[in-house]
Amino acid sequence: MACLNPIDLFANYDKDRIMKLAEYYPNEFDDNKLRDLSFQLDSFIVYARMPHSKFINLKGMKDLAIVMAETKLDQTWCHIYLLVKLTLILPVATASVERAFSSMKLIKSDLRNSISEEFLNGCLVCNIERKVFATVSNDAIIDLFQTIDLQLHELNSRFDVVTSDLLLGMACLNPIDSFANYDKDRIMKLAEYYPNEFDDNKLRDLSFQLDSFIVYARMPHSKFINLKGMKDLAIVMAETKLDQTWCHIYLLVKLTLILLVATASVERAFSSMKLIKSDLRNSISEEFLNGCLVCNIKRKVFAT
């Protein structure tokens, strides 16, 4: 491109480099046109450097193209004129491609930021080095996925539907990262498990409160910025009197805080009952057991 620049009477002119440039456009310059271009360059440079040339004092490639078109020299040296136009288009095309790739990077970056944790967790299963796949047989891979499936099934069986709904609903109210896990449907599902506190009218009011609450909670000046958990959320709501503005949400927050304590208390109570029952069994005398054996007869014996 620089060898075609008309500044200082084509001071950087180099025929070989210009021919090399033309070879990068095989659709525009076949072998015959390349030969014609070579002949045209010889006559063109002679004319261009004459004192009466139309190309005196040109400032760049754009001026060269304009002068050639205005003086009809684009017809005399048609192949040179075509190459000049291609060199003018090249920076624009390159910039367009670069902007396109830049846009693609922005889109990909935005997609990465918006990918859900569930999707990423699914990707982790398959994000294994190729060399590992190369050394593992298909049967081993099948066994691996079967093992993972069994583990997931076992984990899911540990929690019934109610427990899962409660845990997910509590997580959706967590204020960490500006309520990153917020899910209105799951929160409403959580509230439905408290029919004594939330009847149909209160559930409807809770739905409206959640809409305004999440908008405020994610504002830059919100009182809920940088909270570390449900306890902090309850404290801030009480201190700022927002427990009155969003009374149903505050009630639900308190219930979720109580739920953990209540669950642990019930578990400890049942654990204590098991210990008491075991201790009673161990303290039963042999005489008492012998007495029980007398009556421990099959029903069909009594029936006969």
Say what the pLDDT of residue 130 is.
Answer: 54
- What is the crossing angle of helices 200-217 and 184-192, to 10°? 150
Q: Quick one: tokens of 143?
A: 């066994």
- Measured distance CA(209)–CA(242) in Å, rounded: 11
Distances (CA, A) of 34 to 45, 147, 201: 16, 66, 84
- Count of beta carbons in the 10 Å neighbourhood of residue 79: 20
| Nearest alpha carbon to residue 191 among 133, 250, 139 | 250
Judge contact between 46 and 93, C-beta under 8 A. Answer: no
Distances (CA, A) of 233 to 177, 205, 222, 263, 275: 12, 20, 12, 21, 38
Judge contact between 181 and 229, C-beta under 8 A. Answer: no
List the chain pLDDT tens, one digit each, 304 residues.
678 888 888 888 899 999 998 898 888 899 999 999 999 998 888 888 888 888 888 888 888 889 898 888 889 899 999 988 888 877 654 555 456 566 566 656 666 666 556 665 655 555 555 555 555 566 666 777 778 887 777 766 666 777 778 888 888 888 988 888 899 999 999 999 889 999 999 999 999 999 999 999 888 888 888 888 888 999 999 999 999 999 999 999 998 888 765 455 555 655 666 666 666 666 666 666 565 555 555 555 555 5
Strand, helix or coil at 71?
A: coil
Q: Quick one: tokens of 156?
A: 């899911």
Judge contact between 77 and 93, C-beta under 8 A. Answer: no
- Measured distance CA(94)–CA(109) in Å, rounded: 22
What is the torsional sign of CA 231, 232, 236, 239?
positive
Q: Quick one: tokens of 154?
A: 């076992």
Say what the pLDDT of residue 148 is.
Answer: 82
- Measured distance CA(283)–CA(275) in Å, rounded: 12
Say what the pLDDT of residue 256 is.
Answer: 85
pLDDT digits (tens, 9 = 90+) for 226-249: 888 888 999 999 999 999 999 999
Sequence-separated contacts (24+) of 6-9 with Cβ below 8 Å: 6/48, 6/55, 6/58, 6/59, 6/60, 6/61, 6/63, 6/64, 7/58, 7/59, 7/60, 9/48, 9/49, 9/53, 9/55, 9/56
Alpha carbon distance, N-terminus to C-terminus of the chain: 114
Backbone dihedral region for residue 14 (phi beyond 0: left; psi -120 to 50: alpha; all else: beta): beta
pLDDT digits (tens, 9 = 90+) for 46-74: 888 888 888 888 888 888 889 898 888 88
- Measured distance CA(125)–CA(141) in Å, rounded: 11
How many helices (H) and strands (E) are present in the chain, helices listed first? 18, 0
Q: What percent of the chain has pLDDT over 70?
A: 66
Say what the pLDDT of residue 304 is.
Answer: 58
Cα three-residue angle 146-147-148, rounded to 5 degrees: 90
Single-letter code of the amino acid located at 178: S
Say what the pLDDT of residue 93 is.
Answer: 47
Strand, helix or coil at 40?
A: helix
Say what the pLDDT of residue 272 is.
Answer: 60
Judge contact between 124 and 97, C-beta under 8 A. Answer: no
pTM score:
0.41
